[in-house]
């Protein structure tokens, strides 16, 4: 039986995968799957992203949507909704709570079968005045949590904020990478996929 890579997270991972016959979606996961297949990599690719998810939502479906596949490699991309809900719903998640829940996810996986991890850094590329404050007020602390957990658990870390900020500057602005500041364009997805593949090569 081929080893499995599970991608789990929010809408950036989901990318319409539930409407896709191949269940990969139209974002970075599809691009990674295509590249790995071109390399002759026989690992199965499973995308269980769900639009809108926060860390607490991953926790409620962790057994079914991550651990049940016993992945050899587990890729986690979550965090922007833990910030966004503070601003659109008045429902904040503290950095401490974010870290505690994320740690539970990693511990549960490590205890069961010790997969390798890839942790992707959440990002925002402000396109509105309100979003200009999201990083300093909220997301920066969560970005730091992901980096710290990656180091602690020996995970590959995918640093997206600086990569995508630089790409936005080189390609005419934030909306060239994420039209609403959060959801990647085709170029944004390509950059995320490339960064993921580079990180995976370090494991």
**Any residues with CB less than 8 A from the CB of 43 and at least 6 apart, and which?**
2, 3, 4, 5, 36, 72, 73
pTM above 0.85, yes or no: yes
Q: Write down the domain spans for the chain.
A: 4-200
Architecture of the domain spanning 4-200:
3-Layer(aba) Sandwich (3.40)
Confidence of residue 202 (pLDDT cuts 50, 70, 90): very high
**Any residues with CB less than 8 A from the CB of 115 and at least 6 apart, and which?**
70, 71, 72, 73, 74, 109
pLDDT at 69 over 70: yes
Tell me the three state secondary structure of residue 46: strand
What mean pLDDT do residues 50-66 have?
98
For 107-164, the three-class secondary structure string (H helix, E strand, C coil) is HHHHHHHCCEEEEECCCCCCCCCHHHHHHHHHHHHHHHHHHHHHHHHCCEEECHHHHH
Q: Are 93 and 137 in contact (CB under 8 A)?
A: no
Q: If you search the block for the tokens 């640093």, which residue do you land on?
A: 159
| Burial (CB count within 10 angstroms: exposed 0-12, middle 13-18, buried 19+), residue 98 | buried
Tell me the three state secondary structure of residue 52: coil
pLDDT at 2 over 80: no
Confidence of residue 1 (pLDDT cuts 50, 70, 90): low
Chain segment 108-167, per-residue pLDDT in tens: 999 998 999 999 999 999 999 999 999 999 999 999 999 999 999 999 999 999 999 999
């Amino acid at each position: 039986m081929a080893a499995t890579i599970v991608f789990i997270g929010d809408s950036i991972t989901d990318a319409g995968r539930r409407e896709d016959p191949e269940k990969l979606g139209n974002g970075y996961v599809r691009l990674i799957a295509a590249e790995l297949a071109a390399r002759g990599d026989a690992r199965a690719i499973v995308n269980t992203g769900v639009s809108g998810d926060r860390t607490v939502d991953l926790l409620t479906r962790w057994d079914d949507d991550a651990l049940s596949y016993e992945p050899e490699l587990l890729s986690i991309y979550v965090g922007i909704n833990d910030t966004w809900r503070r601003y659109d719903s008045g429902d904040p998640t503290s950095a401490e709570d974010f870290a505690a829940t994320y740690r539970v996810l990693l511990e549960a996986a490590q205890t069961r079968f010790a997969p390798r991890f890839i942790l992707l850094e959440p990002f925002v590329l402000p396109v509105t005045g309100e979003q200009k404050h999201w990083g300093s007020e909220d997301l920066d602390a969560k970005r730091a949590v992901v980096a710290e957990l990656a180091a602690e658990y020996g995970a590959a870390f995918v640093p997206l904020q600086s990569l995508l900020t630089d790409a936005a500057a080189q390609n005419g602005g934030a909306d060239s990478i994420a039209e609403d500041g959060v959801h990647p364009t085709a170029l944004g997805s390509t950059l995320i996929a490339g960064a993921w593949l580079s990180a995976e090569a370090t494991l």
